Copies of this chain bind each other. A is one copy, B any other.
Amino acid sequence: MVTKNQIKLVVNLKQKKYRTQHGLFVVEGEKSVKELLTAGMRPFQIFVDVPENLERYPKAELVDVRTLKQMSSLKQPNGILGVFQMPKSQEELMTDWTVVLDAVRDPGNLGTIIRLCDWFGIKKMVCSLDTVDCYNPKVLQATMGSIARVSLVYTDLVGYLKNTDLTVLGAFMDGAPVYQKELPEKGILVMGNEANGISKEVGTLVSERISIPQFGEPSTESLNVATATAILLSEIRR
């Protein structure tokens, strides 16, 4: 029997302050929950709405559809809601590329970028403190479980970038065309805010300014940060 306190906890986890306080976050849907379990993430509680699922999941607890709807961030809850423990920050990985985000605000963009890092085998992301929270339900919905394989750290970017010896690439509208660059085996790729790009402060710590050449008419809108990241990660790996 689910208690009122359990329901309240799950509802509270929609807010970042409670996620940080409890060290817990929520994912919904069979696919995402299974991916996190397979990736070794530790479940705190998994709510299911049919008895058959009780045996299929660790720490499973039965709830009725109405309660699940109350807990869910989705308009149409899809039968399984998992509460997971946030992983402890992992050791610094300095042997490969790291993606750094400076104030990316759109949850869909962050989710897509995490999924791209997963696809291209990039295990570490570092986000500015004003980047959208990666345990935000909309981010999790867009990552499709990739969050289990990509480690994210939120920190002050200036401090972080001052302490690295790696090449720091930054995406700027007026950077050098990436197609003509020899990219190193490891390094840091900085992507900026949707409207303003990389901030001035962080920009001074970028060692190479790069851009994706434009072939259309000059009046064209700049690329979205997620599609630009797709192209740059592809360039890094090709």
Contacts and interface: CB of A to CB of B under 8 A. Distances in A.
Interface in A168-222: 179, 212-217, 219-221
A160 interface: no
Interface stretch (A12-20, A53-61, A83-91, A118-126): A118-126
A118 B221 contact: yes
A117 B214 CA distance: 10
Contacts of A146: 220-221
A151 interface: no
A158 interface: no
Contacts of A119: 212, 214-216, 220-221, 223
A120 B215 contact: yes
Nearest to A96: B215
Given A146-B221, A212-B234, A221-B145, A227 B121 contact: no
B216 A149 contact: yes
A132 interface: no
Given A144-B221, A221-B146, A230-B231, A216 B118 contact: yes
Contact of A230 (B35, B118, B223): B223
Interface string A14-46: 000000000000000000000100100000000
Given A230-B231, A234-B234, A115 B221 contact: yes
The residue in A121, A144, A146, A215 that gathers the most chain B C-beta atoms within 10 A of its C-beta is: A215
A116 interface: yes
A146 B116 CA distance: 25
A144 to B, nearest CB: 4
Contacts of A219: 35, 38
A141 interface: no
A136 interface: no
Contacts of A110: none
A155 interface: no
Most buried by B among A215, A223, A234: A234
A131 to B, nearest CB: 19
Which 10 pairs between the two chains have the least Cβ-Cβ distance?
A: A121-B215, A227-B230, A121-B216, A144-B221, A231-B234, A179-B238, A230-B230, A118-B216, A120-B215, A118-B220
